[in-house]
Structure 1
Amino acid sequence: MPVRTVYRDIDTLTESVIPIYTSKGRGGGITLMEHFILNKSLLLEKEQDEILFSLQSLSATNYPQIDDILLKMSTLFQKK
């Protein structure tokens, strides 16, 4: 997956009111801000779909533990 696609997906998550934190260097990566709780009622169905699509894109890169997060978000949004 091109790096540009990952950056676009991160932007999509950020635009969907999900606070993303990135850190560079060894051991760095992309995480949610600590203590973040998603209120799904604030998200339109289209935004929920965009979030899931972004997570699926990260899954294609073998990003650590992304499948667990994707499963949780799919369950939260009641989409499988």
Structure 2
Amino acid sequence: MALKMTPLVLAAASLAVPALAAPETRRGNETIKKYCTGDYLNYCGNLAPEDAKLDACFEKNWKSLSENCRRAIDAYQASQGNKKG
């Protein structure tokens, strides 16, 4: 499953590392932050928000992510015109 999740993964990570927060367009939206921060900490918290491996970590753990996080990611991608393939 190929996901283009850089902005959304970074959105989830931005709560864990607020000092590294970038503009909203890069970090995603508040829904992503609300519903995916726990998943970021559980599955990918060993990676820094700017680490290129973070996208792969979320992709690898996609089926383990909470339903709310997956829905938030799907909604964000739909709003940005990104589609999973």
Pick the TM interval, shorter chain: 0.3 to 0.5
Task: Please identify which structure carries the higher helix content.
Answer: 2
Give the alignment's TM-score, normalised by structure 2: 0.35
Give the alignment's TM-score, normalised by structure 1: 0.36
Larger Rg: 1
Between 1 and 2, higher relative CO (CA 8 Å, sep ≥ 6) is seen in 2
